[in-house]
A and B are shown apart, each in its own frame.
Chain A
Amino acid sequence: MAILLTKSTKVVVQGITGREGSMRAKFMRRMGTNVVAGVTPGRGGEEVDGIPVYNTVKDAVKNHGLFDVSVTFIPGTGLKDAVMEALDADIKWIVMPVERVPLYDILEMVAYGKQKGAMLLGPGSIGVNTPGIGALGWLGGSVEFANKHFVPGHVGVISRSGGQSGTLPYVIAQAGFGVSTVLHVGTEPVTGMSFSDVLPLFQEDPDTDVMAIFGEMGGSHEEEAAQLVKSGKFTKPIIIYVSGAWAPAGMKFSHASAIVERGSGSTQDKITRLREAGIIVVDNPNEIPGRLKELKEQGKLRVK
């Protein structure tokens, strides 16, 4: 989706010399992403896979000009400062594949990002993948896997689960369709972008005909998406699955966001609101391919 990523989008990777940073920088580059520079304090002057490393974002900007995107591979407790550094370097689109970020830090960086007019994806987001264009973060896993199973097409995919953001394109490809852009909003209790921030981007995207979404109990992503559809701000068909119907109240699962508290954010409540908004809710994600076929027959979804 050209709105989020094109062949010329200029990317800097913060934390590029770490285990994750170096591996995922190579992955992004092989997926076609224009990774121009990396940053790790104290490692300036080195290279990772031919990508020059700088001590600060400012120094990278001095050498390469402004960046469109920063992807941060920084441990959770250090993320806030890294993100603020990127924001101060006028980067307006930040992807944060980082978990275990202290909550108040998230609030501070999200507030600062808002002040700067930037989009913050995550924390806890494994990123974005636009087949044929590139990837930000590590959505797609390996080049071999992504190239095989992320087929270019017209289904936009959003997920609250990292694993499922790889699985939906996989089953969509098996059903003979393809994906426009796949995006994972992130698993932390507060994220910089919600379904309702992301859907308008897909609305404007000419490559996207319909949406397939993997939702989850807890939080308010699904309710907000329903509201967006109700208000007429999103008009393309949506197919959604919401997991966690069986979950006991008060229990928090491995996803920091999957918390069922005080009856709000329950799966049942979400399903009701989504259906009220006219969104297609499936009981099992394996029903998604069938629903896509129906939309194709109705002329609402292009195959190629």
Chain B
Amino acid sequence: MARLQEHEGKALFKIAKMPIPQGAVAKTPAEARQIAEKIGKPVVIKVQIWAGGRGKAGGVKFADTPEEAEKIAALLLGATIKGYLVEKVLVEEKLSIDKEYYAGIIVNAQADARCPVVMFSTEGGMDIESVPQDKIALMNVDVIRGFKIYDALNLANKVKVPSAHITQVARLMVGLYETFKNYGARLIEINPMVVTKDGKVLASDCRITIDDSSVIRHPELGIKVARESGTPPTELDKIAWWVEEKDLRGTCYFAEMNNHIQGECFGTIGYHGMGGGGAMLGVDGLNKQGLRVPDFADTSGNPPASKVYRAVKLVFSQPGIDGYMLGGFMAANQEQWHHAHGVVKALREELPKRPGFPVMLLLAGNKEKESLEILREGTKDLNARIRIYGGERVYDTVGLAAEMKEMVLEYKKERKG
């Protein structure tokens, strides 16, 4: 996941010469104490996790003394907040807040825009979506022209930022845009941008998501899995990313997900789709038959057999699956024999460990006949429930899922008996 934690984002702000509160990251309570001593005044201690709303979840605390900072850090480090294990806290000077502003940049992909949008509001410190539209100043940026200091001043002026600190606010916005551009961000926010009682303007908190395809240009960010997701990467997600990173031919996507069935759940299917759009069709079909899908794997864009093989191995490495489905719900443009070879190799390793295991293989499109032959020949001696289909069933999500359910019920009964 290419989302940065607060302290990582602030490190980028520092490079852009944007004012941030004095502070540092602590991994132990003793470090937290040392940082607080160095700061020499009351501090705030913030857990470093990906989730927003840390304050309400008890992840942001204040301390008047270094001793107190150490105690609080001891409570927070190792705790689980919003499902995340806290491994680091950021210890910063406590700001005396006069006002809280908001600045953010997103990409507008709509046909009439296709550009970054800079947003600024004097209503900071809360979720920007809850701020009324008329309180937000917006500007679509022409990337060839760039974002200038007077653009920032005009945005701030529009929502009546006082002259006393308008230039500081504008400089922060320009720094934010530079960071957005230089690091290939998809989203970047300062929230809140704090105006202190002594008239300084600082980036007090930040949220940065780096565009997945830009991560490759920034090894210094140390992003392990360049994939957006609502949750931190699991061990399997990390292995899948390793597969992807090592070989850029085609795509091997894998992510574990929370897939719940409404009503009775008849089994869990390790799912391996092909080509995003079609791959989604398969999950829909399985869900409708009461079959849960714990992962979304997808190999597409003409990957080599080795990559397909690794994807199948990942799908099979999930505990508790009652079946495997290769959901090729598309007449592919790519030559399908690479898939056939990769799948056969993995099945020949996995199926001997699982007698009677339900396997549904749907493969259609370019070199279909040859590919189905490879699947049939390569699996005919295996002791498993294997069904192989081609183009005539390419959109039969319902029928194939129903067959899958039948096989799963038989298999489960057999294993019980």
Contact = CB atoms under 8 A, between A and B. Distances in A.
Given A111-B143, A189-B109, A254-B298, A162 B331 contact: no
A166 B277 contact: no
B251 A254 contact: yes
Contact of B257 (A126, A170, A190, A251): A251
Contacts of B396: 286
Most buried by A among B227, B277, B365: B277
A35 B8 CA distance: 48
B214 A104 contact: yes
Nearest to A110: B114
Contact of A243 (B217, B230, B281): B281
A167 B278 contact: yes
A255 B276 contact: yes
A140 B150 CA distance: 50
A167 B275 CA distance: 11
**Interface range for A:** 35 or more
A262 B129 CA distance: 9
A100 B330 contact: no
A170 B212 CA distance: 33
A201 interface: no
Contact of B144 (A76, A102, A108, A214): A108
A166 B331 contact: yes
Interface stretch (B198-206, B332-340, B346-354): B332-340
Contacts of B283: 246
A161 B211 CA distance: 20
Interface residues of B, number: 65
A110 B116 CA distance: 12
Given A101-B213, A224-B111, A162 B333 contact: yes
B253 interface: yes
Given A187-B276, A254-B253, A197 B111 contact: yes
B333 A163 contact: yes
B183 to A, nearest CB: 9
B64 interface: no
A162 B303 CA distance: 14
A104 B184 CA distance: 6
17 contacts: A19-B249, A103-B211, A103-B214, A104-B181, A141-B335, A162-B275, A163-B277, A164-B278, A190-B107, A216-B280, A246-B284, A246-B287, A253-B276, A254-B251, A254-B298, A255-B277, A284-B281
B248 interface: yes
A251 B230 contact: yes
Nearest to A286: B395
Contacts of B131: none
A254 B276 contact: yes
B114 A190 contact: yes
B142 interface: yes
Interface of B: 107, 109-111, 114-116, 129, 142-144, 181, 184, 186, 211-214, 216-217, 227-230, 248-249, 251, 253, 255, 257-259, 274-281, 283-284, 287, 296, 298, 300-302, 329-335, 364-367, 391, 394-398
A244 interface: yes
A180 interface: no
Contacts of A258: 276-277, 280
A155 interface: no
A248 B278 contact: no
Nearest to B336: A141
A250 B229 contact: yes
A256 B214 CA distance: 13
Contacts of A187: 276
Nearest to B250: A99
A163 B334 CA distance: 8
Nearest to A123: B213
A107 B107 contact: yes
A107 B114 contact: yes
A178 B259 CA distance: 38
Contacts of B181: 104
Interface string A233-249: 00000000001111111
